[in-house]
Amino acid sequence: MQVKGGDKDYKIIRLKNSIFIFIFFISISVYSQNTEFTMTGEYQGKNIYVQNPLSADKINFCTDEVYLNEKLLNRSPKTSAFEIDLSHLAIGDPVFIKIVHKDGCKPKVINPQVIRSKSSFRFFNTVADALSIHWSTVGELPFGKFYLEHYRNKNWVNIQTISGKGSFDSNQYNLKPEHHTGDNKYRVKYVQSDGKMFFSQVFSYFNDVEPISFYPTQVVDRITLSRSTEYSVVDSYGNQIAKGKGKEIALSNLKAGLYYLYVDNREEKFVKK
């Protein structure tokens, strides 16, 4: 094919095409949403089977990722049904399955009964509000531990660990929250002394407060936050430079360059002069 106008026109056409492709991928990232559901139980010798319907666009399948005990097993299975292989586990081992799927559709586990726990441990009344995070349990064994996890920057982060009360009857727990601005998601993990693991359902609290601001964006020696909070600073290679809690972040020893501030469950850029 002959290109009219020489190399200059050809470069303009290529530039326009590149801009179109760039905008197209931005639109995908903005409008793509997903959600998840989880199952907890014990391995009893059988695998799990999942129906995987088409997503709302009627082109792609619903499931995006499948996790077993927090390890990624399968990414975007391109089939209307799939199997979650548990055969490498020992009978009685804990099973925690998480299926991340597109919004507007939901995979269906065909045989959930095969991992129903024989243990009598149960979570109930898991609630977060402005003043506390609280939950109740029954069926605890002695020497168990609870891990309160907060969904921050696209990861579940353990924010507090406490020992279980160990009573087989009802137990109640209350912890002081450290909500970030907006929607906060929490879950509680319980690990028995024999290693068996249980997760509560995910529960939420919307914190309607002013987002944390910071200054300056052109940093000489420090960043000041609008209120005290947890933070971390990462360089352009993904290396964590600083982490802590407070209202001021001392950065005088940083080399000049671009850095990222993670605060209030969001990412911000700044430049060190």
**Residue ending a domain, choose from 192, 209, 226:** 209
Determine the average pLDDT of the residues in 128-150: 93
Q: Note if the bond before 94 is cis, omega within 30 degrees.
A: no
Determine the average pLDDT of the residues in 105-133: 87
At 50, is the pLDDT very low, low, confident or very high (cuts 50, 70, 90)? very high
Range from 51-55, 107-111, 121-125, 219-223 carrying the lowest mean pLDDT: 121-125
DSSP 61: B
User: Does 28 score more than 90 pLDDT?
Assistant: no
pLDDT tens-digit map of 61-89: 999 999 998 899 999 999 999 999 999 99
Distances 2 to 7, 8, 10, 27 between C-alpha atoms, Å = 11, 14, 10, 33
In a domain, 36, yes or no: yes
Please, which residues bridge with residue 270 across strands?
259
In a domain, 27, yes or no: no
Q: Which amino acid is at 253?
A: N
User: Does 16 score more than 80 pLDDT?
Assistant: no
User: In terms of residue numbers, what domain contains 233?
Assistant: 214-272
91 and 110, same domain (yes or no): yes
Domain count, the chain: 3
Q: Return mean pLDDT, the chain.
A: 85
Q: What is the pLDDT of residue 21?
A: 36
In a domain, 16, yes or no: no
CB atoms within 10 A of CB 190: 22
pLDDT tens-digit map of 212-231: 999 999 999 999 999 999 89
In a domain, 98, yes or no: yes
In a domain, 126, yes or no: yes
In a domain, 55, yes or no: yes
**Residue ending a domain, choose from 174, 194, 209:** 209
Determine the average pLDDT of the residues in 244-248: 93
221 and 253, same domain (yes or no): yes
With 0.75 as the threshold, say if the pTM is over it: no
**Residue ending a domain, choose from 118, 143, 167:** 118
At 37, is the pLDDT very low, low, confident or very high (cuts 50, 70, 90)? confident
